[in-house]
Structure 1
Amino acid sequence: MAAPIAIHLEFGGGAELLFNGVKEHHVTLPSQSEPWDVKQLLVWIQRNLLKERPELFVQGDSVRPGILVLINDADWELMGELDYQLQDQDNIVFISTLHGG
């Protein structure tokens, strides 16, 4: 069993509006048989944190286009995107680059 892990989530650029305007969340992901990855994290966020309009945050198994994801200050594309295995104390930032009029 993988132990529970504590991570820091941050939402910005308007993405925080989908989470009751709360920009920062310190969460502990429960232990499970396999290591947590970003794909599983997105499902967890949808079930536990996302308050409204999930279509503005996720599309299919991933974040929707226009949302920049940083893992420990690095572009997630450099980290393996959905397959990146989360580590205890990781800092994951979601920034919306889409701005409505």
Structure 2
Amino acid sequence: MSAEVEEASPEYVPITVEFSGGLEMLFSNERKLSLSIPRRDKDGQKANVAFLIDYLCQDCLKDPRKDLFVLDGSVRPGILVLINDADWELEGEEKYELQDNDNILFVSTLHGG
């Protein structure tokens, strides 16, 4: 049985997630992920960015340093989030409901010195 899901599936939303600024190191050096995630969370609510962040931490984050990506259940300060090239603050931040073919970009603005 294959774990792949067709893009047209009514149960899954196809999205692209990208990482930059060093965050890709937490995701097995993958800069871009093409994902099909459930359209609804365990409570039956539409999948939103908060759900995506949890999904990424549970299913995609292979590095044990999860705290470099999230803090208190949200992306940590210093990580810019763009939804379809717009700042997530303009889109409702974590409450933004994911749509087919959305592009979500996480960029770390923190650099060592």
TM over 0.5: yes
What's the TM-score once normalised by structure 2's chain length?
A: 0.84
Larger radius of gyration: 2
SS at match of 1:41: helix
Question: What residue number does 2:62 align with?
Answer: 51
Equivalent-residue separation in structure 2 for 1:11 and 1:86 (angstroms): 17
Number of residue pairs the alignment of both structures matches: 100
Question: What residue number does 2:95 align with?
Answer: 83
What's the TM-score once normalised by structure 1's chain length?
A: 0.94
Identity %: 50
Equivalent-residue separation in structure 2 for 1:25 and 1:56 (angstroms): 19
Q: Which has the higher contact order (CA 8 A, sep 6+)?
A: 1
Q: How does 1:56-67 map to 2 (within 5 A)?
A: 56-67=68-79
Question: What residue number does 1:13 align with?
Answer: 21
Equivalent-residue separation in structure 2 for 1:89 and 1:63 (angstroms): 21
> For the aligned residues, what is the CA RMSD?
1.1
**Match for residue 24 of structure 1 among 32, 43, 65:** 32
Gaps of 5+ in 1: none
Q: 4+ runs of 1 displaced by more than 4 Å?
A: none
